[in-house]
Structure 1
Amino acid sequence: MINTDLEVGGGFSPPVEEFRAKISQADCILFASPEYNYSVTPPLKNAIDWASRAPNVWADKAAAIVSAGGGFGGGRAQYHLRQIGVYLDLHFINKPEFFLNAFQQPAKFDGEGNLIDPAVRERLKEVLLALQKFTLRLQGPC
């Protein structure tokens, strides 16, 4: 868990350094998270916090969010993540949004957790294509 007492001489532990390096090298970020008490999960919030320590490695990256869960399909967690993203200087795509009620019938996932619904797979593909397009737009001409 995040503990700034573990930062020694402006550095981080090897696992945190490795995670931060991966974020730094990424062109964009896809968050896939369930909802936990109307918010993001504790492990995701912990990862966000470690990577936001100076220098903030989330800054100026394109991002998208997908979620699956009950009722609203994780939508409240997505909106909370968008609020967190303002401080992080993340740039989320606005459309298309992807919320999935994972428990409605017919089944969206098989017993192994694989997405089996073709229409949902297509919606997910649209999110990924929008993220790619937005990422390229933010990066500007090569």
Structure 2
Amino acid sequence: MSEPILLGISGSLRREATNRKLLREAARLFEPETFIEADLNLPLYDGDLETGAGIPDAVQLLADQIAQADAIIISTPEYNKGPSGVLKNALDWVSRTTGHPWMDKPVAVMSATGGRAGGERAQMILRSFMVPFQPRILQGPEIHLADSSNEFDADGRLSSDRYENTLRRLMQKLRAEAGS
């Protein structure tokens, strides 16, 4: 098998979001030949929009990226004890595309939040959102990055060996699931 394509999906739109930093650290440790960071800046799902104009190009691109990826990492913030609306909206849109882009894809879920639980509830809910898509979600090791704004150095690298070692183990497991 050739080197895997890794797709990263951040539930935060902010360019310097800690979830984006966590994705980039995961990609660094996964060491893919190709890492794609998905763009979730999508219109809100609207059945009238879908009926009138079809699937937006940006949504189809995301579905195609999911289908083409050999492995996927999703990093979610926790807003009001759940995943972000941005991430849920993307999942809702992708569910409307043809085919089953998530089917049997190895997926690692992680979270970075300002709170002390590190997004544990958001991850649990996100995992339940993924059930209809039938990916192969890794069960651990779990990454719940608490107080995330203080966990990265100036270069965007994790500053704690504990988190980096756990993330390395998760990425090794994801790489094995991807078959490389």
Normalization by structure 1: what TM-score? 0.82
Distance 1:132 1:118, change over 3 A: same
Give the alignment of 1:1-142 within 5 angstroms. 1-8=44-51, 11-55=54-98, 56-69=100-113, 70-102=115-147, 107-110=150-153, 113-136=156-179
Cα displacement string for residues 13-70 of structure 1 (whole angstroms, at most 9, x for unaligned residues) = 2212212111111112100111111111011111111111142322221111111221
Deviations 1:47-105 (A, max 9, x none): 1111111423222211111112212100100000111111121221112111121269x
In structure 2, distance between residues paired with 1:135 and 1:9: 38
Conserved? CA contact 2:108–2:137, under 8 Å: yes
| RMSD value, Cα | 2.4
Residue type at the aligned position of 1:65? V
Tell me if the contact between 2:78 and 2:119 (Cα under 8 Å) persists in the aligned partners.
yes
Amino acid at match of 1:91: R
8 A Cα contact 1:28 1:63, kept in partner = yes
User: 1:114 Cα shift?
Assistant: 3.8
One-letter amino acid of the counterpart of residue 88, structure 1: F
Q: Which runs of 5 or more residues in structure 1 are unaligned? A: 138-142
Q: Which residue of 1 aligns with 2:17?
A: none
How many residue pairs are counted as aligned between the two chains? Answer: 135
Distance 1:9 1:59, change over 3 A: farther
- Larger RCO (CA under 8 A, 6+ residues apart): 2
What amino acid does structure 1 have at the position aligned with 2:92? D
Structure 2 Cα separation of the partners of residues 33 and 10 of structure 1: 29
Secondary structure, aligned partner of 2:77: coil
TM (norm. structure 2) is: 0.66
Task: Report the equivalent of 2:7.
Answer: none
